[in-house]
Amino acid sequence: MPRIPAKRTLRLAGAALVVAAFAGCGTAMAADGKPVWTAAQPSTGPSAQPSIIASASTSARHLTTPSTTPTQASPATTKPATSKPATTKPARSKPAQPRLGGPANSAMKTGTAAVALTFDDGPDPVQTPKILDLLAKYHVKATFCVVGENVAAHPELVRRIAAAGHTLCNHTWQHSLTLGKQKPAEIRADLQRTNDAIRQAAPDAQVKYMRAPGGNFTPNFVKVAAELGMKSIYWQVDPRDWDHPAGESDAAHRAKVLAAVKKHVHKGSIVLSHDFGQPDTIAAYQTLLPWLKQRYQLIALP
């Protein structure tokens, strides 16, 4: 084998490195068939060392175009990133429910200066016609909170109440004092059954109010009534016309009802009374109606 001069050997080695620098991915081979460098693996962290490829490329550049003067790196001119402050929109909240004063936020007042007279537990075949006659005599409209069973028994009186321009209110099917503690589905079924009976008796009647028996409202009771389109009404004035203890004369009972209403009624009051089985209430209103009409605007709940 002929001898190769040393200078030529150096030139051949330099050429092999130049080829390796531009070879791309893979394994470059020297003249003797051994690898010069291997492809670099992906960086595994922010402080990974420069790849062997970059080193070989730099060496090749230095061999082919040696630099006689060092190049100075220009200072970085990257502008700092600016970010706009976050503008988080405030979460929308539901408007607060007005406080109506009664249990479970049922309404105690009419919301105006007018006074509303309400009569519960009917219709009564004897007492309801009497109070209807008395209201008609003084041209007063009122609200009747009717019990479903009584509606089914006396639909003609429900038609008369509606035809006279009075307001009808759902007072449940059987006047259960514990209905508000039942499951919502049971409350709904009871109220719906009562509404159906009212509308069967008076198809054009609107039922926009509900009163819990005994005033025993619960949040579920009020919620279900609202879902059925009814506002829950409590009262501000209760003359206890339903409470007729043994030994109390009829005259004393009437005087008690009169005194209680006169003392406690104010503008905007809802007054609780009963037409079912309460003849002394009807007698008391013979005096009360003209007295109230002189002092207040009397309305059926709208």
Catalogue the active-site residues. 120, 274
Query: What angle do helix axes 279-295 and 127-137 make, rounded to 10 degrees?
Result: 20
SS3 sequence, 148-189? HHHHHHCHHHHHHHHHCCCEEEECCCCCCCCHHHCCHHHHHH
